[in-house]
Amino acid sequence: MTGVLASQQIETLIATGALSSDTPFADGQVQPASLDLRLGHTAYRVRASFLAGHGRKIADRIPEFEMHQVDLSNGAVLEKGCVYLVPLMERLDLPADITAIANAKSSTGRLDLLTRVITDGGEEFDRIAQGYTGPLYAEICPRSFSVLVRPGMRLNQIRFRRGQAVLSDTELRALHDAETLVSGGPAVIDHGLGFSVDLEPGPQGIVGYRAKPHTGVIDLDRIGQYDPLEFWERLRTDRRQLILDPGAFYILVSREAVHIPPAYAAEMAPYLAMVGEFRVHYAGFFDPGFGHAEAGGAGARGVLEVRCHEAPFVLEHGQTVGRLVYERMSEVPAQLYGQGIASNYQGQGLKLSKHFRAT
């Protein structure tokens, strides 16, 4: 059956060897519609980001770009502004009718860790061709904070598809009529479900956060341990607008609360570049059950990871900044997001990554 593969189907890929690892798969690694990928034991500091290119292997190209190796076995710091390549523990031997797409996990994106998957023969980041057989690598570029990493950490996730899964706008309107996909704003459907930024002052007048330029290291294993004020500047406005600074990184929130029914998944796509000089999102997967009432949510707002590009840009309350592309699941997952599993962001509003103490 066509669609995004559910958790039980991913388990079947593992059982049949289409997904394999020399290190046994860990509890919680299989998510409702994706598999978490784990860092291996070595990071290569490279002088530039690169793709393998058609017919070429990553391992053969590393010597062209390698500056030095970093042993992650006892933990090591990946420094802000540097590019690293880390072989992942998992490898693929995909059936001929299955493709895959990778993305950063939510907590990775909220730390401004540019993290992408590349493969042998790959000519695109995060896109894995049908029938691919070979290793997986994570390219990691910490943009705002240096981070301490160890083998087995999960910065990326991968989703598997069979056939065409994306809903047309007509299908999406019908699903919204039946399931109420968005609240807190109109359902703007045009090549997906549009969403906008919320700059209405919330508790303490805060509308978002901006990463501070000179901070300490974040140990990715330390959950709820860091003081947000050591790493983030709180943003306030009484005009319902922000001027984004080029090169700065922001955590904002969508005006709309979104809902992903159990038989669907969604991917956050950036808005057209012509509407403004900024990029929204690093972590773009929304699992089945996100914001779903029976899984502990009543709609949940999307956290926006925003980076401004060449010129200062005025972002205003209610401005459309992206869209959600909904996809059919091949099967309803055996476990939904927020239902009996560790789901850090169910029912969220404006929220930093799980590494920071609640304020």
> In terms of domains, do 130 and 185 share one?
no
- 123, 142, 162 — which closes off a domain? 162
Burial of 139 (0-12, 13-18, 19+ CB in 10 A): buried
> In terms of domains, do 28 and 177 share one?
no
pLDDT at 52: 97
> In terms of domains, do 192 and 120 share one?
no
> In terms of domains, do 61 and 207 share one?
no
**353 in a structural domain:** no
Cα first-last separation, the chain:
45
Judged by phi (left if over 0) then psi (alpha if -120 to 50, else beta), residue 333 lies in beta
The Cα–Cα gap between 342 and 340 comes to 7
Q: For residue range 10-65, what is the model confidence (pLDDT) as tens digits?
A: 999 999 999 999 999 999 999 999 999 999 999 999 999 999 999 999 999 999 99
> In terms of domains, do 59 and 154 share one?
yes
Question: pLDDT band for position 323 (50/70/90)?
Answer: confident
pLDDT at 346: 46
pLDDT at 298: 59
**242 in a structural domain:** yes
pLDDT at 194 over 60: yes
> In terms of domains, do 139 and 250 share one?
no
Coil, helix or strand for 230? helix
**358 in a structural domain:** no
Number of domains in the chain: 2
pLDDT at 237 over 60: yes
Tokens (6 digits) for 354: 């799980």
> In terms of domains, do 259 and 202 share one?
yes
Of the chain, the percentage scoring pLDDT greater than 70 comes to: 91
pLDDT at 271 over 80: no
Whose structure tokens read 């070979």? 134
Q: What is the CATH number of the domain that holds 92?
A: 2.70.40.10
pTM: 0.91
The residue range of the domain holding 16 is 3-162
pLDDT at 202 over 80: no
> In terms of domains, do 139 and 214 share one?
no
CB 302 within 8 A of CB 253: yes
Tell me the mean pLDDT in the region 249-276: 82
Could you tell me the CA-to-CA distances from 225 to 104, 219, 221, 346, 357 in Å, in that order? 22, 9, 10, 20, 6
Q: Which of 89, 196, 104, 206 is nearest to 150 (CA)?
A: 89
**349 in a structural domain:** no
**355 in a structural domain:** no
**339 in a structural domain:** no
Secondary structure element (H or E) that encloses residue 3, with its range = strand 3-4
**352 in a structural domain:** no
Least confident of 131-135, 203-207, 299-303: 299-303
Q: For residue range 94-146, what is the model confidence (pLDDT) as tens digits?
A: 999 999 999 999 889 899 999 999 999 999 999 999 999 999 999 999 999 99
For 176-277, list the strands marked E by DSSP: 182-183, 193-196, 206-211, 218-219, 232-236, 241-244, 249-258, 264-270
Least confident of 5-9, 144-148, 221-225, 337-341: 337-341
pLDDT at 97: 96
Could you tell me the CA-to-CA distances from 2 to 5, 174, 330 in Å, in that order? 8, 20, 5
> In terms of domains, do 157 and 174 share one?
no
- 162, 184, 217 — which closes off a domain? 162
> In terms of domains, do 264 and 236 share one?
yes
CB 193 within 8 A of CB 187: yes
